[in-house]
């Protein structure tokens, strides 16, 4: 039987896979596991509930709130706020856990359920497995005064915005910034935070109607932001995704600044200000070789993890580090957040532009990003990537690239697919090597025909 939890909570087509019944059962199970920890005498467990603006969030959040309250959990309903805001608020009010209803950068018909532990931290696999097992248990059924109560978390947005602005090392006065809120959860709070920090703000993708989240806007569709930055004569642009846990940027010339360049800019700034702990940055294996070279030149060590922000988080916690993230724009500043936070990241990128007096284009230009080609080889046996002939082909490719390139061949975590990623000094070289390795993967890892 497939595991219910994926790499970032439970996700699927709303009202088909992610149903009110599932939300109710999952909430009751979470109450079993996360509501059982010791607390003050006479105090019921407390959970923060939030969602992004997609239309299915109404009934999924309602079912979640019902499941929690019926299990004896008090619910603070924060309404539509970003995922990192929910995580921050769990810690800020000392809640026992929290639930975020969102499918992040997925289209509107999808939705998901993310559960956070005390302190606003993501759940380890072991706790997710315990919650999934608890779905088979009889639900908790308190009566009378012991049932939970549901109330509006009235100052949720204000608490989060004030927190964001208080983290900044420099105000944004004098900067003109375009924000693309992806018609998502950032629509209410991102413009407010940037304005409060001193920026002149122009918004696009800022009119959520429940069905237009991530639709041609946001961090997965940067064209509209690039056009708006140029049209407005802005200093830079910031793009969020639907639940605002990631951030990509556009400089004043309309060029995209990806997660690798964002991390490099923040790492160098933090090093200069003495707040980059152990002079170390945590990235995944997908980060560009150009980032590694730039960090080495700046005297910053790079630690790599598996793909997934949860692994970056684990490494940051284990080593006591302050900055990490992914090429996709999930950036974690652990002094201020327990998860990737697109608003926090965007604010700090803008603050470095203001602090340094240099343009984002100049800051990003210090990191030479190598051309990267990714080929997804589908319908192959992802369990056999240790095939000797494939390993030999990878070694030969690595030898041909030398220190001017990189090869990464990894199995998908969810599909019968193997990803082949190649970086090289020239795009044509990366393309040729990637296609050659993809052919080896197809030949060596072909699925056995059905009998």
Q: Is 241 annotated as a binding residue?
A: yes
Q: How far apart are CA 165 and CA 221, in angstroms?
A: 27
Q: Tell me how far CA of residue 113 lies from CA of 99, 204, 350, 399, in angstroms.
A: 7, 27, 31, 44
- In the set 62, 104, 190, 287, the catalytic residue is 104
- Which string of b and e fits 23-35 if b means at least 16 CB within 10 Å? bbbbbbbbbbbbb
Q: How far apart are CA 87 and CA 110, in angstroms?
A: 21
Helices (H), 41-82: 57-70
Indicate if 372-444 has the same CATH topology as 10-154: no
Q: Is 8 annotated as a binding residue?
A: no
**CATH superfamily of domain region 372-444:** Alpha-D-phosphohexomutase, C-terminal domain (3.30.310.50)
Three-point CA angle 132, 137, 141, nearest 5°? 120
Indicate if 104 belongs to the active site: yes
Q: Tell me how far CA of residue 144 lies from CA of 28, 36, 150, 215, 318, in angstroms.
A: 18, 19, 15, 45, 44
Q: How far apart are CA 22 and CA 112, in angstroms?
A: 11
CATH of 10-154, one of 3.30.43.10, 3.40.50.300, 3.10.100.10, 3.40.120.10: 3.40.120.10
Q: How far apart are CA 409 and CA 415, in angstroms?
A: 15
CATH 3.40.50.10610 fits 159-364, yes or no: no
Domain residue ranges of the chain, discontinuous segments joined by +: 10-154, 159-364, 372-444
Q: Going edge to edge, which strands form the sheet with 247-251?
A: 200-204, 176-180, 236-240, 247-251, 256-257
Q: Is 245 annotated as a binding residue?
A: yes
How far out from the chain centre does Cα 331 lie? 7
Of 26, 55, 281, 41, nearest to 135 (Cα)?
26
What proportions of the chain, in percent to the nearest 5, are helix, strand and coil? 40, 20, 40
Each of the 451 residues of the chain gets a pLDDT tens digit; together they read 578 998 788 999 999 999 999 999 999 999 999 997 766 566 899 999 999 999 999 999 999 999 999 999 999 999 999 999 999 999 999 999 999 999 999 999 999 999 999 999 999 899 999 999 999 999 999 999 999 999 999 999 999 999 999 999 999 999 999 999 999 999 999 999 999 999 999 999 999 999 999 999 999 999 999 999 999 999 999 999 999 999 999 999 999 999 999 999 999 999 999 999 999 999 998 899 999 999 999 999 999 998 888 899 999 999 999 999 999 999 999 999 999 999 999 999 999 999 999 999 999 999 998 998 999 999 888 888 999 999 999 999 999 998 888 999 988 866 788 999 999 999 999 999 999 999 999 999 988 765 5
């Amino acid at each position: 039987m497939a595991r219910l939890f994926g790499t970032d909570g439970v996700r699927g087509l709303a009202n088909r896979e992610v149903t009110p019944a599932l939300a109710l059962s999952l909430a009751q199970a979470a109450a079993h596991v996360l509501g059982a920890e010791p607390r003050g005498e006479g105090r019921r467990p407390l959970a923060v509930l939030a969602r992004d603006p997609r239309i299915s969030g109404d009934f999924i959040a309602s079912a979640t709130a019902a499941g929690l309250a019926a299990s004896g959990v008090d619910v603070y309903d924060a309404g539509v706020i970003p995922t990192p805001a929910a995580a921050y608020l769990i810690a800020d009010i000392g809640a026992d856990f929290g639930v975020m209803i969102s499918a992040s950068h997925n289209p509107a018909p999808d939705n998901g359920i993310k559960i956070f532990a005390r302190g606003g931290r993501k759940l380890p696999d072991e706790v997710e497995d315990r919650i999934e097992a608890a779905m088979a248990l009889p639900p908790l059924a308190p009566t009378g005064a012991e049932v939970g109560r549901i109330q509006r978390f009235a100052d949720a947005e204000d608490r989060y915005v004030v927190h964001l602005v208080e983290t900044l090392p420099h105000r944004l006065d004098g900067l003109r910034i375009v924000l693309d809120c992806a018609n998502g959860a950032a629509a209410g709070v991102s413009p407010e935070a940037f304005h409060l920090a001193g920026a002149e703000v122009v918004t696009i993708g800022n009119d959520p109607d429940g069905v237009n989240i991530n639709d041609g806007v946001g961090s997965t569709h940067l064209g509209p932001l690039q056009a708006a930055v140029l049209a407005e004569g802005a200093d830079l642009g910031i793009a969020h995704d639907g639940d605002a846990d990631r951030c990509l940027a556009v400089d004043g010339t309309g060029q995209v600044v990806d997660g690798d360049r964002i991390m490099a800019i923040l790492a160098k700034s933090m090093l200069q200000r003495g707040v980059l702990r152990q002079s170390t940055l945590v990235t995944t294996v997908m980060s560009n070789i150009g980032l590694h070279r730039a960090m080495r030149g700046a005297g910053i060590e790079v630690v790599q993890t598996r793909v997934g922000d949860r692994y970056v988080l684990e490494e940051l916690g284990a080593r006591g580090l302050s900055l990490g993230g992914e090429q996709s724009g999930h950036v974690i500043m652990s002094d201020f957040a327990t998860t990737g936070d697109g608003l926090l990241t965007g604010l700090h990128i803008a603050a470095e532009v203001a602090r340094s007096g240099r343009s984002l284009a100049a800051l990003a230009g210090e990191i030479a990003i190598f051309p990267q080609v990714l080929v997804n080889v589908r319908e192959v046996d992802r369990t056999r990537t240790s095939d000797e002939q494939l390993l030999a082909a990878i070694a030969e490719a690595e030898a041909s690239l030398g220190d001017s390139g990189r090869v990464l061949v990894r199995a998908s975590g969810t599909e019968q697919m193997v990803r082949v990623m190649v970086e090289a000094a020239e795009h044509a070289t990366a393309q040729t090597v990637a296609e050659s390795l993809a052919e080896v993967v197809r030949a060596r890892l072909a699925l056995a025909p059905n009998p």
